Amino acid sequence: MTATAVLRPFAPADIPAIRAIYADAVIHGTASWELEPPDEAEMARRAETILGGGYPYLVAEVAGRLAGYAYASAYRPRAAYRYTIENSIYVDPSIQRAGVGRALLSGLIAAAGDRGFRQMIAVIGDSDNAASIGLHRAMGFAMIGVARSVGFKHGRWLDQVLMQRAIGEGDASAP
């Protein structure tokens, strides 16, 4: 099944739905390595930080309901990294594998390019996350490394997968 996702910028009223999607990922999944879901106030603070840093934050609606969200944030805090961002994508589990993640990632890449970012890094929790790895590969990301057994959640060791994609001119010219 393919869902028609309508992308739009994040709005503060989205926090309850975003928190619910993220809480499910924290409790049941390995995309996030948090062990306890943050509350709505913390999710709002995080959104303010992302937006305040000039990073894109998008939501996807399907049939008028928030079905997922994606944002970019600083890859590392040092100034030389300022053109490189890390992406985060979360989709409501009831509609995963229906094209929402692809729509969000595509929109995020475009929005990041419009803001002058040049490289996007995907930090994927768990090398068993074939769906995320496959999505990123399909969207032009290349595997750049795997850090083995660096996280422990749900009673098992987790790998961290790193993938990278150029945005816009990438490293073909100075910013």
pTM, full prediction: 0.95
Sheet holding 119-125, edge to edge: 6-9, 57-62, 65-74, 84-91, 119-125, 156-166, 142-153
Domain architecture of the chain: domains with CATH: 6-166 (3.40.630.30)
Q: What is the dihedral of CA 112, 114, 119, 120, to 10 degrees?
A: 20
Residue 140 is inside which H or E element, if any? none
Token code pair at residue 118: 């040049």
pLDDT tens digits in sequence order for the chain, 175 residues long: 677 999 999 999 999 999 999 999 999 999 999 999 999 999 999 999 999 999 999 999 999 999 999 999 999 999 999 999 999 999 999 999 889 999 999 999 999 999 999 999 999 999 999 999 999 999 999 999 999 999 999 999 999 999 999 999 999 999 9
Q: Which long-range contacts (CB under 8 A, 24 or more apart) does 48-52 make?
A: 49/73, 51/10
